[in-house]
C-alpha cells in the first residue's frame, strides 16, 4: 500500500473540542494547552471561533486567546468564522488562517446558519474576499460531506461542486467534514476518487468524527487514497457533553498511534498531548472517548 510518508495533524481540540463542553475553560488554561501542543510538535491548531459570545460562551475569549498565542512562525493557527462579522473580528487579530465552512446539506445549512446552500455560498464568497483582502489565508470546509442524516444521502457530485466552488472563491486548503459521523470506507473512497482529480494543488484534508466507531477505519481508507491531512482533537474531545464518553472528533493520540504504527511520520509526540487529555478529563469530570491517551 502506498501511504503518504508524512501526515499533518490539525489539532482542533481547543476549538471544536472545548466548544462542546458545558464547562468553560479559562483563557489561561487554553493558552497553556496550545503552548504545550506546539511544544509537542503540532504544526496546525484551530485555536478559537469568532461566534456570538452568548451563543457560545466557550469561545467568548477568542481575541484574548489569539493575542496570547506562543509566537511560533511555523504553526498554522486558525480560527473558525460563521459569518462576515466573525471574519471582521478575526481580521482585527493576528490569526493567520481563517476557516469558513459550507454545508452540503440544505437542511443542515438552514438549521445551522439560517441560510440555504445558495445563500451560504454567497456568504462564504464575501467572507473569503474580506479575509484575503486582510492578508489572511483561508481554510474552507464542506460540512456533511459524507451524508447528513444517513450515510451517503448527499450526492458526491454536489460535494465536489461545493468543494471546487470554495477553491474558486479563494480557499488555500480544503477540508471534507463528516459532521454527523456517517462516513465509512466505501464512501470515503468514492468521494476522494471523485474529488482528488479536481482540487489541483490545493491540499485536501478530512475532518472525521468517531460517532459510530469508524473514525480510524476512515483514516485508513483516506491514507490509502493518499490523503495526508487530518483534523483531530486531543482525547477525542468534541462529543456530546451530555453523554459520558460519547464519541467526538477522532482522537489525536489514537490517530497518531495508528499513523506511527504505519511508519508515517507526524512530528508530534503523543505522550505530550495525552498529558493534556488527562488534565481536561479531570477538569470536565468525565472520561474522554479516546483510548490511547489513557495509556501513555
What is the binding site for its own copies (CB under 8 A)? 151, 184-187, 210-214, 216-217, 219-220, 243-247, 251, 254, 257-258, 261-263, 287, 289-292, 294-295
Helix (H) or strand (E) holding 276: helix 270-284
Distance CA 238, CA 58 (A): 12
Of 198 and 294, CB closest to its own copies: 294
Which residues fall within 8 angstroms of residue 107, CB to CB, at 6 or more apart?
Answer: 148, 149
Of 102 and 259, CB closest to its own copies: 259
Of 205 and 289, CB closest to its own copies: 289
C-alpha cell at 100: 469558513
Q: Which of 122, 186, 193, 240 is catalytic?
A: 240
Query: Is 240 a catalytic site residue?
Result: yes
Q: Alpha carbon of 242 to those of 18, 121, 278: distances in Å?
A: 14, 33, 19
- Shortest distance, position 47 Cβ to its own copies, whole Å: 25
Strand ranges for the chain from DSSP E: 8-11, 44-50, 76-81, 97-103, 137-143, 173-177, 204-207, 229-232
- Shortest distance, position 145 Cβ to its own copies, whole Å: 16
Backbone angle region of 158, left / alpha / beta, with phi > 0 → left and psi within -120 to 50 → alpha: alpha
117-133 vs 106-113: helix crossing angle, rounded to 10: 60
Of 261 and 282, CB closest to its own copies: 261
Distance CA 91, CA 98 (A): 9
- Shortest distance, position 81 Cβ to its own copies, whole Å: 31
Of 31 and 144, CB closest to its own copies: 144
**Burial zone of 279 (CB within 10 Å; 0-12 exposed, 13-18 middle, 19+ buried):** middle
- Shortest distance, position 247 Cβ to its own copies, whole Å: 5
CA 280 to chain centre: 19
- Shortest distance, position 258 Cβ to its own copies, whole Å: 6
User: Which of the residues are catalytic?
Assistant: 240
Amino acid at each position: 500500500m502506498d501511504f503518504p510518508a508524512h501526515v499533518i495533524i490539525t489539532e482542533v481540540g481547543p476549538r471544536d473540542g472545548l466548544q462542546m463542553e458545558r464547562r468553560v475553560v479559562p483563557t489561561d488554561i487554553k493558552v497553556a494547552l496550545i503552548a504545550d501542543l506546539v511544544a509537542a510538535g503540532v504544526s496546525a491548531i484551530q485555536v478559537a471561533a469568532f461566534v456570538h459570545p452568548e451563543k457560545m460562551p466557550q469561545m467568548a475569549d477568542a481575541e484574548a486567546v489569539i493575542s496570547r498565542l506562543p509566537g511560533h512562525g511555523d504553526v498554522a493557527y486558525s480560527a473558525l468564522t460563521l459569518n462576515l462579522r466573525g471574519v471582521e473580528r478575526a481580521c482585527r487579530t493576528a490569526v493567520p488562517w481563517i476557516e469558513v465552512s459550507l454545508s452540503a446539506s440544505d437542511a443542515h445549512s438552514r438549521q445551522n446558519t439560517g441560510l440555504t446552500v445558495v445563500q451560504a455560498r454567497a456568504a462564504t464568497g464575501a467572507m473569503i474576499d474580506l479575509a484575503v483582502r486582510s492578508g489572511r489565508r483561508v481554510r474552507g470546509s464542506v460540512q456533511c460531506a459524507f451524508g447528513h442524516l444517513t450515510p451517503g444521502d448527499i450526492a458526491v457530485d454536489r460535494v465536489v461542486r461545493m468543494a471546487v466552488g470554495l477553491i474558486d472563491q479563494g480557499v488555500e486548503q480544503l477540508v471534507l467534514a463528516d459532521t454527523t459521523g456517517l462516513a465509512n470506507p466505501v464512501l470515503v473512497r468514492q468521494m476522494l476518487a471523485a474529488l482528488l482529480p479536481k482540487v489541483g494543488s490545493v491540499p485536501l484534508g478530512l475532518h472525521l468524527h468517531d460517532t459510530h466507531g469508524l473514525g480510524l477505519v476512515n483514516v485508513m481508507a483516506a491514507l490509502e487514497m493518499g490523503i495526508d491531512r487530518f483534523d483531530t482533537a486531543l482525547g477525542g474531545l468534541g462529543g456530546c457533553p451530555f453523554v459520558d464518553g460519547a464519541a467526538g472528533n477522532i482522537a489525536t493520540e489514537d490517530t497518531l498511534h495508528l499513523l506511527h504504527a504505519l511508519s508515517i511520520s507526524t512530528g508530534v509526540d503523543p505522550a505530550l498531548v495525552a498529558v493534556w487529555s488527562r488534565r481536561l478529563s479531570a477538569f470536565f469530570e468525565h472520561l474522554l472517548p479516546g483510548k490511547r491517551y489513557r495509556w501513555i
